[in-house]
Amino acid sequence: MGANRLDGKVCAAKVESSLSSRIRDLAERGSSPHLAVVIVGDDPASHVYVRSKERACERLGIRSTRIDLPAAASFDKVLATVESLNQDPDVDGILVQSPLPRGMDELAITDHILPEKDVDGFHPVNLGRLVQGRLDGLLPCTPAGVMYLLKFAELDLTGLKAVVLGRSRIVGMPMALLLAAKGADATVTVVHSRTTDIESHCRGADLIVAAVGRPEMVKAAWVKTGAIIVDVGINRVEDSSVKGYRLCGDVEEDANSVASYMTPVPGGVGPMTIAMLMSNTVRAAEMRKTS
Ligand code: GUN
């Protein structure tokens, strides 16, 4: 039969349409939301992601400004760029695309973004609010998008055994917090590179969120019948049968035949990340206009 598809494109379109009227309201009050994206260097994947974010802004009538800095830009230059965006009253949201060039202190850059303009939700103030169980602020976009997608499918997570693979500050750790938060009420295990017997953790899971960036690491045979699979991975792998590359997730696609629900790759989590960024940008603009 195959798993039900957790369709991020359909769900993201719903988020975008619900944002339209809020953007109109802001525009009528003379303050259309404005997102500034800083990209340092020429990592091809990052440029593709940033372009998708700009296109979403264009679709929604959110103003966006992209600041391209060379890979050789100094830490002080990146910090000064963030500082000028902090000071600019016309900018509502600031995003510094990760990864930054090797050796640059990403956390220090994140710390410097004003929390109220931190549309990535990575600033310690915003992550701290999440740890406190306050879910009304600027939440990290990918985990927030996953939660929205699960809710959209009307899935009740109460008491489910959730396994999150990956412990990054961008996805894994905030994902675990959101799943365990009051209202979601899953029981969460975070699996990482030092975890022993990852397979048995996966076999016991009712919900797997895979965010490790390792192609097809989670085998279909590890997936319990009826489990829910959310695949955050988007990996480019060489494929001789198509004489080029193909995209795959962190979970084998065959898991589809045992799972109850599964996200496609692409078209699952990716569109939700962008929709949540748009949502955070609108929220940041609203908060700043009313404060
Ligand atoms: N790189 C990969 N995902 C993200 C994200 O959500 N935000 C930023 N700033 N960089 C990323």
Fold match, 30-115 / 141-270: yes
The CA distances from residue 57 to 63, 66, 75, 129, in Å, are 6, 11, 28, 27
The answer to which of 12-21, 24-33, 49-58, 119-128 has the lowest mean pLDDT is 24-33
The arithmetic mean of pLDDT across residues 86-102, rounded, is 97
d(CA 272, CA 277): 9
Which residue out of 98, 171, 175 has the highest number of ligand 1 atoms within 8 Å of its CB and is therefore the one to mutate? Answer: 98
pLDDT at 125: 98
Cβ contact 141:273 at 8 Å: yes
Whether the predicted pLDDT of 140 surpasses 80? yes
Cβ–ligand 1 contact at 280 (below 6 Å): no
Who contacts 96 (Cβ-Cβ below 8 Å, separation ≥6)?
Answer: 38, 40, 78, 82, 106, 109, 110, 113, 120
Homologous superfamily (CATH) of 30-115 is Leucine Dehydrogenase, chain A, domain 1 (3.40.50.10860)
Q: How far apart are the first and last CA of the chain?
A: 52
Both structure tokens of 280: 């955070």
Q: What is the pLDDT of residues 162-194, one digit of tens each?
A: 999 999 999 999 999 999 999 999 999 999 999
CA of 61 from ligand 1 middle (Å) equals 22
CA of 142 from ligand 1 middle (Å) equals 9
Active site members: 53, 97, 120
For the chain, the structural domain boundaries read: 30-115, 141-270
Cβ–ligand 1 contact at 256 (below 6 Å): no
Ligand 1: atom nearest CA of 120 is 7
Whether the predicted pLDDT of 291 surpasses 80? no
Cβ–ligand 1 contact at 120 (below 6 Å): yes
Ligand 1: atom nearest CA of 273 is 6
pLDDT at 46: 96
- What share of the chain in percent tops pLDDT 70? 100
Of the pLDDT bands very low, low, confident and very high (cuts 50, 70, 90), residue 84 is very high
CA of 223 from ligand 1 middle (Å) equals 28
Type of residue found at 171: V
| Shortest-distance Cα residue to atom 9 of ligand 1 | 97
pLDDT at 142: 98
Cβ–ligand 1 contact at 175 (below 6 Å): no
The upper half-sphere exposure of residue 168, i.e. CA atoms within 13 Å in the direction of its Cβ, equals: 18
Whether the predicted pLDDT of 212 surpasses 80? yes
Fold of 141-270: Rossmann fold (3.40.50)
Q: What is the pLDDT of residues 123-134, one digit of tens each?
A: 999 999 999 999
Cβ–ligand 1 contact at 281 (below 6 Å): no
Of the pLDDT bands very low, low, confident and very high (cuts 50, 70, 90), residue 242 is confident
Cβ–ligand 1 contact at 141 (below 6 Å): yes
The whole model's pTM is what? Answer: 0.97
Which letter, b or e, does each residue of 154-176 get, where b requires 16 or more Cβ atoms within 10 Å of its Cβ? eeebeebbbbbbbbbebbbbbbb
